[in-house]
Amino acid sequence: MAILYRDETITCDDDGITIDWYHFPLGTAKRITYTDMKKLETYRLGFMSGRYKYWGGSFRYWLNLDWKRHRKTTGIVVYHTGYVCPILTPDDPDAVLRILQEKTGLTATKAF
C-alpha cells in the first residue's frame, strides 16, 4: 500500500485515509475507504468554526486531536457511510483535497 500523503494526524494511501488521534479519550485511529466517501466539503476555519477546538465536536461532526489546528485555515468535511463526519485539518489541505477528489471521483464544494 503506497502512501500518497502523510502528516502528523492524517495518512492517505491507495485505499483510503487513516485519521490518527480520532476517538476520544483513547486516541485510536479511524479508517475510511475512498469507496465509503459520499461528499466532500471545504470551509474556512475561524474562531467559531473549530480553529481553536483541539479535539471533539458535535453529534454530527468530529475533529481529531490536532495541536496545530489554531495555525490552520482550511477544514475538509468527509461525508461517508457513517453518521458522524470527520473534519480533516491537514498541513497541506490542497494536496489532501486533490488526492480525495482523484480517488473518489467527487468534487468538493465550499461550505462557507
- Please calculate the CA angle 112-80-10 and round it to the nearest 5 degrees: 80
> What tens digit of pLDDT does each residue of 24-64 get?
999 999 999 999 999 999 998 877 666 767 777 877 889 99
* Residue 15: per-residue pLDDT: 97
Average pLDDT over residues 7-12: 96
pLDDT of residue 28: 95
Task: Pull the grid cell for residue 103.
Answer: 480517488
Residue 63 in contact with residue 56, Cβ under 8 Å? yes
Give the pLDDT of residue 112: 64
For residue 106, what is its C-alpha cell? 467527487
CA torsion 107-85-62-102 (nearest 10°) is -30
* Residue 91 predicted with pLDDT over 90: yes
Q: What confidence score (pLDDT) does residue 52 get? A: 62
Q: What is the enclosing helix (H) or strand (E) of 41? A: strand 37-44
- Mean of pLDDT over the chain: 91
Mean local confidence (pLDDT), 91-108: 96
Q: Which three cell numbers stand for residue 71?
A: 495555525
Query: According to the CATH classification, is domain 3-110 in 3.30.1370?
Result: no
